[in-house]
């Protein structure tokens, strides 16, 4: 099951349920371009608990308005370079 939350990215981290998450991309190191913005993150719930990873879904505006295309300039080969974030 997947749920979504909106969080502000601060210094390359988001805090959800008391845990800090950061991107874990090996190909391209996070460069801070999303810092200060509000983004939707997908939370994965399995076997009665939330997993220790989340995925960047898109901007808050895109989440609330599917016609919006805020993130198009950040796509690399059709996806975000920092889609998977892991608890630190």
For the beta carbon of residue 9, count every other beta carbon within 10 angstroms.
23
For 2, the 3-state DSSP assignment is: strand
Q: Which pLDDT tens digit goes with each residue over 6-56?
A: 999 999 999 999 999 999 877 788 889 899 999 999 999 999 889 999 999
Reported pTM? 0.83
DSSP string of 28-72, one letter each residue: S---STTTT-EEEEEEEEETTEEEEEEEEEEEHHHHH-TT--GGG
Grouping H, G, I as helix, E, B as strand and the rest as coil, residue 23 is strand
For the chain, what are the domain ranges? 2-87
């Amino acid at each position: 099951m997947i749920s979504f939350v909106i969080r502000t990215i601060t210094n390359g981290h988001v805090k959800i349920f008391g845990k800090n998450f950061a991107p874990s991309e090996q190909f391209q190191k996070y460069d801070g371009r999303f810092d200060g913005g509000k983004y939707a993150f997908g939370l994965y719930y399995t076997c009665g608990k939330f997993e220790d990873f989340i995925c960047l879904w898109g901007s808050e505006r895109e989440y609330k308005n599917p016609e919006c295309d805020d993130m198009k300039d950040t796509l690399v080969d059709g996806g975000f370079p920092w889609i998977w974030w892991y608890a630190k």
